[in-house]
Chain A
Amino acid sequence: MKSWTSFLAATAIVTALSLPAFAARTDLVIGIPLEPPHLDPTAGAAAAIDEVLYANVFEGLTRIGPSGEVLPALAESWEISDDGAVYTFRLRSGVTFHDGSAFDAEDVKFSLDRARAEDSVNAQKILFEAIDSVEAVDPATVKITLRHPQGAFLYNMGWGDAVIVAPESAGTNKEKPIGTGPFRFENWAKGASIRLAKADSYWGEPAYLDKVEFRIVPDAAAAVPALLSGDVQAFPFFQPDGVAQIEGDPRFRIEVGATEGETLLSMNNRKAPFDKLQVRQAISYALDRQAIIDGASAGLGTPIGSHQSPASKAYVDLTGAYPHDVARAKELLKEAGLENGFKTTIKLPPPSYARLGGEIIASQLREVGIDAEIIPVEWAQWLDQVFTRKDYDLTIVSHTEPNDIDIYARKDYYFNYDNPEFDRVIAELNLISDEAKRNELLRQAQKILADDAVVGFLYELPKVGVWDARLEGFWKDAPIQANDVTKVRWTD
């Protein structure tokens, strides 16, 4: 009898000890707030598309790494001609698409030509503008000739919009995406979830996870119970206001990183009185950035003084250019002939940083005598009225595209900003690929924007990631919009 019980006990102990060894989980449910409208990263601007497919299912010639660096992907190496106009990419061999078809130089040519074609609906067509011709020299070599040198070309080829697709499946990628990545698409239950599974034929280091489900959890209030109940194990992009409920719970890890999202109080530079430098400067002085970050972003986020991510090597800290100074703001308004202040409007799109931030900013503006009426708008309305028709005075939006300081040089952009000196710096920047020189020009550009107080520079949007503490391999920062889960694994 005694030996019987000890046998049982021994079995129990052995089972308990060996359990973790073969129980290391290989499945994962990730919560995402928005459902992608379709699954083709080359045919839509929605960040949600890249947040499911980038690096997981689709790959480009290059890819962007966890800290924003350019890494080789389908191109294992490249050479750049001395004049910076010809890029020769050496492609990886033995790569196949998930439908079994082989990948070669013709696929690269097809993908890039498709993206820059006349009738292309690629949301970032501007990335391919410099390309003059794409030539498949042999199955493993692609030669791309540019119209003019472009400093950011390798980076541009790492965007989700520049991934390589196959001619056979390009037309159906919206419903059934076929790429070359470590995960293959399995199924999309519309409105509920998108499932990926490990691709056995992957050319590179295989993923740790066998199955990944992206579950759509649109309501911020529903995200917390979804985590607590264990239904969803990770929210790489979590609403900052939910953090308080998770904080201090040892089952979860919270990682606050940086995004490429410069959150701005945009001003219509061509509309009175914002066409006056003093008025824009007065508004910049009226802003108390820390109060905005505390109120609109749960205290998370880094103040900025110009349009560059603080994580970037080219960043220069200009937050001191216009410190919070109500007296100075009033003085400047007086100089502009507006000592009694003025009435204006502020249009706020749906994200909470805009809706909450807008109320705080309106009250800060009231202190210097500016009466800003709050107008909440939907996203589609915002794109139509503010972005396309420039029918606005003030608005708040986060510019989440990476390295996008050149938007201030675009003609007819919704800021209505026009400074030939700034345009010159950007034009020069486009032609140079030497990093030190580029960074110097980027610093100059940031200073011009701060001097002109083009917009009210608020803060860099934080990336708040929350996941089960036993998971590792998620990105801390978001140098591009992606949920790269190729290195994610359970630690026990």
Chain B
Amino acid sequence: MTAYLAKRLAIAAITLALASMVVFAVLEIVPGDPARVMLGMNASEAQVGQLRQQMGLDGGPLQRYLHWTGNLLSLDFGRSYTYSVPVIDLIAERLAVSLPLALIALSLSTAIAIPVGLYAASRRGKAGDAISMGAAQLGVAVPNFWFALLLVYLFAVWLRWLPAGGFPGWSAGIWPALKALILPALALALPQAAILARVTRSALVEVLSEDYIRTARAKGMPWRKVLWGHALRNALIPVVTIMGLQFAFLLAGTIIIENVFYLPGLGRLIFQAITQRDLIVVESVVMLLVATVIAVNLIVDLSYALIDPRLRSRP
């Protein structure tokens, strides 16, 4: 187990190092000068040069790469070119929106998907199965930003229950802040829930045809207990794998959803930083996202052992 863990951690570290090179190289190639973006069309070339120097943009690429990664290792993310505040502060502010949003979306999608998948699998071939899987198919097909707009028109414009967008900040109180996250979380969660429900159903259908399920039924175990206790636990590995993969999509989805709902989250930050060529912010946030995805995959791998005791003894 320790050897396995060490190997996984080493792979994670190498992936991170490779990702930092790719991120840096891509942003080196992307055209655009942050100093010119700030000064606009009426400033002279000499003046742009002046600002470039003030922003510390001179120096060779290799020198800047080493400087950047060196700082990253000591957890110094640098200063934003445009906001001129430490990037770590920007990230912390934005995580206060994005992290709760992602967690709510993830729990919502799990809370919807697992019962729907269980229901459809146990009603396999019947009307209930067809209806719930038809709805899931629709959920997979509908793009999340369009679904977001539908939610806004229904709950914000027509019913006026929830705000159409924006974020009052946690300082405004837990409930107003949560209210602002409900619609975005729903818009993020439903397409994910649709996929997860389909995966849950097909994994369950396979497990339900196993001999030990028939045995459990034959010895008179109640159906509910068979389903939750035996079938679901055995079907969980593919479900958890998909959930891990979905987490990466969730992060990508927040970029779009945070724009539609104008939430000040990480997705908005990175979108804005790209258009303003605030490269240091882009680099740091992308690295953070890469690290998160790697960490989640690691957790998923380790959770297999929890779900399936047979994997624990594997070398």
Which residues in A have some Cβ–Cβ distance to B below 8 Å? Answer: 35, 37-38, 44-46, 119-121, 123-126, 174-175, 189-193, 215-219, 221-222, 225-226, 228-231, 378-381, 383-385, 387-388, 399, 401
Contact = CB atoms under 8 A, between A and B. Distances in A.
Contact of B33 (A45, A378, A388): A388
20 contacts: A37-B83, A38-B83, A38-B84, A44-B39, A119-B50, A121-B38, A121-B51, A126-B42, A191-B94, A191-B265, A222-B259, A230-B160, A378-B32, A378-B275, A379-B37, A381-B30, A383-B40, A383-B41, A384-B32, A387-B36
A119 B264 CA distance: 34
A387 B36 CA distance: 10
B54 to A, nearest CB: 7
A46 B264 contact: no
Given A191-B94, A228-B157, A384-B33, 7 more contacts: A38-B84, A121-B38, A218-B259, A221-B260, A378-B274, A384-B31, A388-B45
Contact of B165 (A37, A126, A231, A378): A231
A190 B93 contact: yes
B238 interface: no
A99 B167 CA distance: 29
A121 B83 contact: no
Contacts of B38: 37, 44-46, 121, 123
A218 B268 CA distance: 10
Contacts of B47: 120-121, 125
B82 A190 contact: no
Contact of A219 (B41, B260, B272): B260
B276 A380 contact: yes
B269 interface: yes
Interface in B168-184: 169
B139 interface: no
B268 A191 contact: yes
A45 B51 CA distance: 13
Contact of B152 (A175, A189, A222, A380): A222
Nearest to B47: A125
Contacts of B34: 380
B260 A45 contact: no
A383 B84 contact: no
A383 B40 CA distance: 8
B272 A123 contact: no
Interface residues of B, number: 53
A380 B262 contact: no
B201 interface: no
B238 to A, nearest CB: 36
A45 B264 contact: no
Contacts of B94: 191
B203 interface: no
A123 B152 contact: no
A35 B166 CA distance: 13
Nearest to B34: A380
Nearest to A36: B82
Contact of A225 (B40, B41, B48, B153): B153
Q: Is the interface of A mostly helix, strand, loop or mixed?
A: loop
B163 interface: yes
A194 to B, nearest CB: 12
B275 A121 contact: no
Nearest to B152: A225
B198 interface: no
Contact of B85 (A175, A229, A230): A175
A193 B277 contact: no
Contacts of B264: 189-192
B165 A380 contact: no
B286 interface: no
A124 B40 CA distance: 9
B35 to A, nearest CB: 9
B170 to A, nearest CB: 11
Contacts of A37: 38, 82-83, 276
Contacts of A119: 50, 54
Contacts of B165: 217, 222, 225-226, 231
B287 interface: no
Contacts of B84: 38, 174-175
Contacts of B218: none
A191 B267 CA distance: 10
B305 interface: no
B164 interface: yes
B294 to A, nearest CB: 26
B44 interface: yes
Given A37-B276, A45-B43, A192-B167, A229 B160 contact: yes
Contacts of B82: 37-38
Contacts of A215: 166, 262
Nearest to A216: B262
A191 to B, nearest CB: 3
B36 A123 contact: no
B280 to A, nearest CB: 14
A45 B41 contact: yes
B90 interface: yes
Contacts of A219: 259-260, 262
A399 B164 CA distance: 33
Contacts of B291: none
B8 to A, nearest CB: 35
B31 A226 contact: no
Contacts of B153: 225
Contacts of A378: 32, 274-275
A121 B39 contact: yes
A464 B28 CA distance: 38
A35 B169 contact: no
B114 to A, nearest CB: 32
A106 to B, nearest CB: 26
Nearest to B33: A384
B27 to A, nearest CB: 11
B156 interface: yes
Contacts of B83: 37-38, 190
Nearest to B82: A37
Given A215-B166, A383-B33, A45 B276 contact: no
Interface string B249-266: 000000000011111110
Nearest to B272: A35
Q: Sort A-B residue pairs by CB-CB distance and give the 4 closest, nearest first.
A: A45-B40, A191-B264, A380-B32, A37-B82
B103 to A, nearest CB: 19
Contacts of B93: 190-191
A222 B174 CA distance: 24
Interface centre among B38, B166, B169 (most CB of A within 10 A): B166
Contacts of A384: 31-33, 36
B149 interface: yes
Contact of B44 (A45, A125, A174): A125
Contact of B166 (A38, A192, A383): A192
A449 to B, nearest CB: 18
Contacts of A221: 149, 260
A38 B34 CA distance: 14
Contacts of A44: 38-40
Given A125-B47, A228-B157, A380-B37, A193 B166 contact: yes
Nearest to A389: B31
A225 B33 contact: no
A126 B32 CA distance: 23
